[in-house]
Chain A
């Protein structure tokens, strides 16, 4: 049985309306200030540190993103925290907000499918995220030019562009999760709380839990311990478990892309390093290859969560 007409009818209208709502809303103001302040704070420390270092580093600009000045975390890890917050802020009341405003049945009585509403809201949220992240990216580049006075090379620009795209995909994961929760829970407050709970679990608690769980699943081998080495099985488990968190995937992908000397993510055996010139940067294509599984996993996670939200929404009663 085929549905009549296109499922995307009205999509553009929904996207434009939601985008206008997002950009003019009070929560966007808050997010903007959060973006600007964290960018400036993280960069200020990083720039101070970089000035003291040698200017011979060929990837000075990229160091800006990854340098962690003593009390502050690096810019990338701050983003790892901030992007989910922004995405949750944009998505937690996407559908249940329409319920509580009692606009949903009126909208769905117009000649559009639910697909258009759902996809429109997601695309609008993603566009909003992309706009603010691009602003942040430009801000960082501008500040770097001002304070460091070194023009970025083409490869640096390309790598930081990849960083921008991956950050948007990473935001997509959390946006899709927030929308799924906004479909499941009728109250926006509940959806927001659950989303924040999941965010706390995955970004703060999970990195601490993963080694403990790995130790239980694959206990440390005393022979390795006697040599003061970690057990490879435990390491593998730990990494696999840690990768369940999108935060970890994002961190790993960023490590590969922004630190060109990264040759592998996770444990490396000595024989794998044969012939490698340690510390020498990889070309962009090779770095991308290393980060590719993580990037694909993030994109797949976004799609899965969106599909889940979509399926639940299609089956839901429109009556409030």
Chain B
């Protein structure tokens, strides 16, 4: 991550009549990072994206994309930013190649360069074999990949993906996330919106949690876990030995030890304490049979935060 900001929003607001859909949000996305917009449906993620592309007028605040104001210079922004809308559509009566050729012409890619860029993009998303088939026959996963091919063809500096994995089967999801990682490796800044938390967690450097038009949490998943869950790691130990629970409790970083069953312990810690736990078992002359760790999951953070936020505001600030 560098300190170059490519997208910056200050008090960005969108109102429809009396309803405030996006409520004075601030965020910054840095060059080359993958930023996740998370939140339930209708929490303002798509509206935020549309305002960044200049497809919807904002009601207040400001947003800056690659140094341009999307409302004043929409063409400059749209020339550099690739957008994959949720539930993407293509012209079903045209082939994949023809669909890309149309958008390539709209992008202003020269006639000489067009076939090369289209072929390269199609092979990147593994659609070269069906390039001359009508898009009407494509599955949802293939359409989604074709949408990504469009962004690759555009050689976009920023890729904005709105719910890219919703409605995909697990296999297609894994493949799609791999493609996103390829984009990351090429230095493309990726902005991803989703309500599927585990997938976001797998690819995003930082996330912003949306709730009712506001960003309620923002930061790296690990940091969020520490602040919301208190301690982010749960280590499960199965071992035989006397007085293990006391030894575990004495380890630095461990905040709680629960004995789930005889010989099964659950440790809550602020970091991965597996090495220490193993050492403790060995030191107690115990027999270690299993040692596992649960990464801090966004799901847990999310549920905990929103459960806490609705139950009592106090609990959250305590945890933080």
**Cβ–Cβ < 8 Å partners of B103 in chain A:** 106-107, 110
By secondary structure, the A interface counts as loop
How far is the CB of B95 from the nearest CB of chain A, in Å?
13
Contact present for B102 and A13 (CB under 8 Å): yes
A: number of interface residues (CB 8 Å): 26
Please, which residue of chain A has its CB at the minimum distance from the CB of B89?
A: A102
Within 8 A of A (CB), among B39-75: 46-47, 50, 53, 55-56, 72-75
| B233 proximal to A (CB < 8 A) | no
| A268 proximal to B (CB < 8 A) | no
**Cβ–Cβ < 8 Å partners of A317 in chain B:** 56
Within 8 A of B (CB), among A160-206: none
| A285 proximal to B (CB < 8 A) | no
| A109 proximal to B (CB < 8 A) | yes
Partner of B106, one of A102, A105, A110, A319: A110
**Cβ–Cβ < 8 Å partners of A107 in chain B:** 103, 106
Within 8 A of A (CB), among B87-111: 87-93, 102-103, 105-108
Q: Which of A3, A106, A109, A318 has the most CB of B within 10 A?
A: A109
Contact present for A103 and B106 (CB under 8 Å): no
Contact with B along A1-14 (1 / 0, CB 8 A): 10111000110011
Contact with A along B13-56 (1 / 0, CB 8 A): 00000000000000000000000000000000011001001011
How far is the CB of B134 from the nearest CB of chain A, in Å?
13
How far is the CB of A118 from the nearest CB of chain B, in Å?
14
Partner of A4, one of B53, B76, B89: B76
| B83 proximal to A (CB < 8 A) | yes
How far is the CB of A121 from the nearest CB of chain B, in Å?
13
How far is the CB of A312 from the nearest CB of chain B, in Å?
15
Contact present for A103 and B90 (CB under 8 Å): yes
| B85 proximal to A (CB < 8 A) | yes
| B212 proximal to A (CB < 8 A) | no
**Cβ–Cβ < 8 Å partners of B90 in chain A:** 101, 103, 106
**Cβ–Cβ < 8 Å partners of B232 in chain A:** none
Partner of A103, one of B46, B74, B89, B105: B89
Partner of B147, one of A13, A14, A106, A112: A106
Contact present for A13 and B105 (CB under 8 Å): yes
| A279 proximal to B (CB < 8 A) | no
* Given A109-B83, A110-B103, CB of A102 within 8 Å of CB of B55: no
**Cβ–Cβ < 8 Å partners of B78 in chain A:** 109-112
Contact with A along B140-153 (1 / 0, CB 8 A): 00000001001000
Contact present for B88 and A102 (CB under 8 Å): yes
Contact with B along A306-320 (1 / 0, CB 8 A): 000000000001111
Partner-B contacts on A (CB < 8 A): 1, 3-5, 9-10, 13-14, 17, 21, 101-103, 105-113, 317-320
8 A-B pairs with CB atoms under 8 Å apart are A3-B74, A4-B72, A13-B105, A106-B89, A106-B147, A109-B53, A111-B106, A113-B75
Closest 10 CB pairs of A and B: A102-B89, A109-B83, A110-B106, A13-B105, A105-B85, A111-B79, A5-B75, A4-B73, A111-B78, A101-B89
